[in-house]
Amino acid sequence: MKKISWVIFGSLSVLISFYPIKYLIADKPVALLLSKSAELLSSNIYMICFYLHICFGGVALLIGWLQFSKKLRRKNMKLHRIIGKIYVTSVLISGIPGIYIALHASGGLSPKLGLTIGAIIWTILTYLGFQTVRKGNIEAHKKFMMYSYAGTFGAVTLRIWLPLLILVFGEFLLAYQIVAWLSWVPNMVVVYFIIKKRQNIQPTTLINS
């Protein structure tokens, strides 16, 4: 079951990481850009931020899941560090413009708040993960980076939840208002319980040993 979950996790990460190509090859607005006004789409600042966000977010999604492989860390720590540096750089380049485009989210206050808060938390957690490993605090680093990738994986969960919510409610805007929070908050909650479970197991292991 664990191996199946790992395969699904990795496959979804890789698959959705190529999603930005859909925007790059299109000669007109597609997908989420269809909900934007012509005025916003004509803004160079918005479009630059949008493409920085989706392209570097795609890179972070593509490589970030590999960092959770114990086998990779044991066999090639140098590669783990290289991937980590690329991941952190990609998140920062994606996250900061992501805050700007989140402020222009369609659907009113709820998606603006949800996506902006999500982008800020994602960026800060990633930065803290980088800072803690530089200071040699490996345990804190692991926790921050787990939360960081929970934010990154929001690109996957958003694309799972959004069509389901549109199907349930029959409209895009209401679905988008909900998915702005649903795409990342449950991910963070899952990571919290995973970390809690590991903390509960460790003392028991020490006592038994």
Buried b / exposed e along 15-52 (16+ C-beta atoms within 10 A)? ebbebbeebeeeeeeeebeeebeeebeeeeebeebbeb
Structure confidence by residue, pLDDT tens digits, 73-131? 888 889 999 999 999 999 999 999 999 999 999 888 999 999 999 999 999 999 999 99
Chain centroid offset of residue 111 CA = 16
**Contacts of range 32-38, beta carbons closer than 8 Å, 24 or more positions apart:** 32/106, 35/106, 35/107, 35/172, 35/173, 35/176, 36/104, 36/106
Element housing 205 (H / E) = helix 185-208
User: Is the model's pLDDT at 66 over the cut of 60?
Assistant: yes
Cβ-contact 150, 187 below 8 angstroms: yes
Q: Are 6 and 61 in contact (CB under 8 A)?
A: no
pTM comes to 0.90
pLDDT digits (tens, 9 = 90+) for 46-64: 999 999 999 999 999 999 9
End-to-end CA distance of the chain: 27
Residue 209 pLDDT grade (very low, low, confident, very high; cuts 50, 70, 90): very low
Helix (H) or strand (E) holding 186: helix 185-208
> 182 Cβ partners below 8 Å, 6+ apart?
157, 161, 165
Q: Which residue is it, tokens 């918005």?
A: 46
